Amino acid sequence: MVDNVEEIRKNNVLHLPQRPAVDIEFLDLTFTVPQGRKGSKLILRSISGKFRSGQLTAILGPSGSGKSTLLNILAGYKSTEATGTILINGEHRNLKEFRNISRYIMQEDVIQPLLSIDEAMMIAANLKLGKNVTVCDKLEIISDTLDLLRLTPARNTLTNKLSGGEKKRLSIALELLNNPPVIFLDEPTTGLDDLSCSQCVSLLKQLAKGGRTVICSVHTPSAKLFSLFDAVYVISSGQCTYQGYGPDIVPYLSNMDITCPTHYNPADFVMEVCAGEYGDCQDKMVSAIDNGRNIYRNNQLTSLFESNSPTGNDQNVIHVMECISNKEHKNTSWDQFKILLIRMWVQMWRNKSYLLLKVVLHIALGLLIGNMYIGIGEDGSKTIFNFGFYFNCIIYFMYIPMMPVLLSFPLEIQYLKREHFNKWYNLNSYFCALTVSTLPVQIVLGSLYITMVYIFSYQPLEFGRIAAFFGICILTSIISESFGLLISSTLNLINGMFVGPVMMVPFIIFCAYGFGEGYASIPILIKILMRCSYLRYSFEALVLVMLRGRKLECPETEEFCMFTNLDEFIEIMAMNNGILWVDIVALVLFLIVVRSASYYLLRQRLMPNKTFMALQYIGRFIKTQMSEGR
């Protein structure tokens, strides 16, 4: 095992050029979360510290001590409610700039499914490395990274079939591709065996040696692993209890009369001390290290933040950014769009069982509904049924496209959050690719259903009417899908699955309300609400397109047919004032507004502006006030 680690150490990460130095300091960082009627919970308590470039720093602490919270705040992933100061190379952190130079590998392995490791790496390389790097170089970088993380044997395995450890290593590999100057990793060794842990930490150390700032949280590392870290930051109940070189923790504690037993793993020992197994030492340790303002070095405590102390390097973030952008060429939005679109289509195609299910569902419903309305389209005695058939079509194209989005998009947002936060692509490219990616399946399956029910129900075989019928149904389908996106951009799976169908109820009610006599007596407010239902425009458009200017025969078996003149029928239904082009324009406007709103909400979910943050805060406040204090 040792040989292996040494081999990796020697096996330098050649493709990764040196990075300019970035030091991270934080002072009096406090983080609180609201806790129902009990008030709030203090998670980080005015902690301070400094993480240097060129060093691999481990954040250590018992479960629930605040390691992930500290990482989230430093990485800028969740920083809105934190107070305190964060300095980057001695200057106040500009989050936007900082995010361009840092990458965050989160605890959960959220990896795009239905791609092989090779494909996932190539897509990431195409998105992150840009066009300046040739395909050959990209392949070499990918091979090096996969070798380093021992993923080569599994390179053709689909990501959803990988073991937990392989997923973890892949999520590290994906972020290493473009060699960021600052890397945060939340528990990168969890789920890895001893060898993989050592290899992973050795790799991180190598990256740090190249001038990067590598910070990771770890759970009780082995003694060997513990000694690999250049610096250790111990956190307990939201306070810093130690900062310095890992093995130095033993003399540090013995100075406080807490003696580590011989042959004992210092990492295990400090965890036990923090957990109170050696008496209540926390306050003593916190005050010795001044809650992170001091560092234990050369057997003595030194202050990190003396007023005139040098910050370690004088490069500001803009300088670092310039150094990086001189070497790298970013992809254009169009390039990102193409890569993402292909990825979405590949994943869609590989999800064969779901695709097949959709096809079967459309055919089955087409057969069922087509048979229910068989022959009604040219039967003068069935005009009312025909009218119901159009309504049926509208309801079909409301629910069928919306439900899959409500189910799948909340999970998709997790991938989006990780990739977007780590600057793989911009939201515009993603959103455009998402919009385009679903169109072919939607159009093909929608057309399959329409063709079946259209033929079964004997609708007029006139090109204009056929084209308009298809167009209106598909437009309705895309608007409904956009509503699904709008809801799931904001709500989680459970809430979205409830709100989606419920939200459609008023649209259905106002679509079907007020036909026939008495339309004129409907109050103006209700009429306005009726005009707010996109389904009404779809329905009206379908009726006008399919019935206007037609007369039907009354079958010989019937003595009397009330609605053979369909223009009269339209008048009786009070739809004679409807204008087809107005309905179509209204539908297009609905589509634009709903799509734009879902884009806006998605953007706010990823990067909330001040108004949105205030709204979120008010929402949370109301929720906590209403919830039972536990």
In the complex, the residues that contact ligand ATP under the rule CB under 6 A are 33, 41, 43, 61, 63-69, 219
Nearer to ligand ATP, 177 or 271 (CB): 271
Nearer to ligand ATP, 187 or 583 (CB): 187
Helix, strand, coil percentages in the chain from 3-state DSSP, rounded to 5: 60, 15, 30
**Residues in contact with 10: Cβ distance below 8 Å, sequence separation at least 6, in sequence order:** none
Nearer to ligand ATP, 77 or 470 (CB): 77
Nearer to ligand ATP, 585 or 613 (CB): 613
In angstroms, the CA 57 to CA 240 distance is: 14
Report, in Å, the least distance between residue 33 CB and ligand ATP: 4
Is residue 156 within 8 Å of 118, Cβ to Cβ?
Answer: yes
DSSP string, 436-488: HHHHHHHHHHHHHHHHHHHHHTT----HHHHHHHHHHHHHHHHHHHHHHHHHH
Nearer to ligand ATP, 33 or 195 (CB): 33
Of 503, 90, 110, the closest CA to residue 316 belongs to 90
Nearer to ligand ATP, 43 or 215 (CB): 43
Task: Give burial (CB, 10 Å; 0-12/13-18/19+) of 95.
Answer: middle
Report, in Å, the least distance between residue 198 CB and ligand ATP: 20
Nearer to ligand ATP, 63 or 262 (CB): 63
Report, in Å, the least distance between residue 31 CB and ligand ATP: 8
Nearer to ligand ATP, 68 or 112 (CB): 68
Report, in Å, the least distance between residue 231 CB and ligand ATP: 18
Give strand pairing partners of 40. 34
Angle between helices 164-176 and 194-209 (to 10 degrees): 10
Phi, psi of 30 (to 5 degrees): -130, 140
In angstroms, the CA 539 to CA 525 distance is: 20
Report, in Å, the least distance between residue 190 CB and ligand ATP: 9
In angstroms, the CA 65 to CA 74 distance is: 16
Report, in Å, the least distance between residue 548 CB and ligand ATP: 58
- Whose tokens are 């806006």? That residue is 600
Nearer to ligand ATP, 43 or 468 (CB): 43
Nearer to ligand ATP, 319 or 620 (CB): 620
In angstroms, the CA 534 to CA 397 distance is: 12
Report, in Å, the least distance between residue 45 CB and ligand ATP: 11
Is residue 594 within 8 Å of 483, Cβ to Cβ?
Answer: yes
- Give the 3-state DSSP-derived string for 175-202, with helices as H, strands as E and coil as C: HHCCCCCEEEEECCCCCCCHHHHHHHHH
Tokens (6 digits) for 312: 């370690």
Give strand pairing partners of 158. 116
Nearer to ligand ATP, 68 or 477 (CB): 68
Report, in Å, the least distance between residue 246 CB and ligand ATP: 18
- What DSSP element (H or E) covers 85? strand 82-88
Report, in Å, the least distance between residue 252 CB and ligand ATP: 21
**Residues in contact with 554: Cβ distance below 8 Å, sequence separation at least 6, in sequence order:** 380, 381, 560, 561, 564
Nearer to ligand ATP, 63 or 326 (CB): 63
Nearer to ligand ATP, 8 or 274 (CB): 274
Report, in Å, the least distance between residue 620 CB and ligand ATP: 9
Is residue 329 within 8 Å of 131, Cβ to Cβ?
Answer: yes
- Whose tokens are 């590989």? That residue is 350
Report, in Å, the least distance between residue 572 CB and ligand ATP: 59
Nearer to ligand ATP, 589 or 613 (CB): 613
Tokens (6 digits) for 617: 């805060």
Q: What's the number of CA atoms in the CB half-sphere (13 Å) around residue 242?
A: 31
In angstroms, the CA 457 to CA 469 distance is: 13
- Give the 3-state DSSP-derived string for 518-538, with helices as H, strands as E and coil as C: CHHHCCHHHHHHHHCCHHHHH
Is residue 282 within 8 Å of 276, Cβ to Cβ?
Answer: yes
Q: How remote is the C-alpha of 5 from its chain's centroid?
A: 35
Q: Is the dihedral of CA 134, 140, 142, 144 positive or negative?
A: negative
